[in-house]
Structure 1
Amino acid sequence: MPFTTGLNHIATMTADLDRLVKFYIDAFGAETTFEMAAREDHPRMVIIDLGGGSALNVFEVSAEDIVGDRRRQGGRGPIDHFGLAVDSLASLEATRDRLRELGADIGEIQRLGSEWSLFFRDPDGMELEVCCHAG
């Protein structure tokens, strides 16, 4: 039986962050819960609460950096990574330890808005994330 509690968020990229955030607020009553200004090593980012524990993490990148045909099924779209949810920081720490034991390429647990977050790469090199609510 899985020990994860479901998906935490979907991360996507856009060339116009303000437009996309406004759309989700207007269309779904979503709320912005975290904003991060662009840094040399990270694009501008907003976390949008979609309700029910689900979020959309949106990164602003140049249009040239978005690969694929968004409208064609099977085309590589704007999804960057997905996050798995666990129920506590203790579970996140245990997951980190398990990933280390498996030899996964992992980062450090960090606080992003209202979440504790751990990024890692699966055996194919795909970046994924494990998260839990902080507090």
Structure 2
Amino acid sequence: MLLDGVDHVACLTHDPARLGSFYAAVFDAEIGPTERHGQDGEETMTVMRIGPHTELNVFTIPSSDEADRQTPMWHRGRLDHLGLRASSYATFATIRERLVAHGASDGTVSDFGAAWSMFFRDPDGLEGEVLVPKAADGSHPVAG
């Protein structure tokens, strides 16, 4: 393959501090400073490192109401949801516990063939999914 994963996903928010707190608490994300961005002086950007090579580039644009728009799955436009890969069964279980504790997921884990999957919704309403590849024996990542 010519690519090595996803570098970043850009999204909009009205509250980068709240969003950063969520991703830091649940995913151990590293949250950078919010800095001015763009030509008109209105836009800001906050970089949230969510993996060794992956970031959320979070923009705030006060004159835009796009961050308020929420629609059902498969009707959200070209970017419908964010899929994140857990590094192991143990981290998947930790993320699951944190998402449930934050009220962002009911903790349901679904069998998606080659991977286990769990959906969540961040504080801005963006739907996300955490996946972990199945172990060779197909065991459940949060069995117990």
- Whichever structure has more strand as a proportion of its residues is 1
By relative contact order (CA 8 Å, sep 6+), the higher-ranking structure is 1
* TMscore range, shorter length: 0.3 to 0.5
Larger Rg belongs to? 2
TM-score (norm 2): 0.44
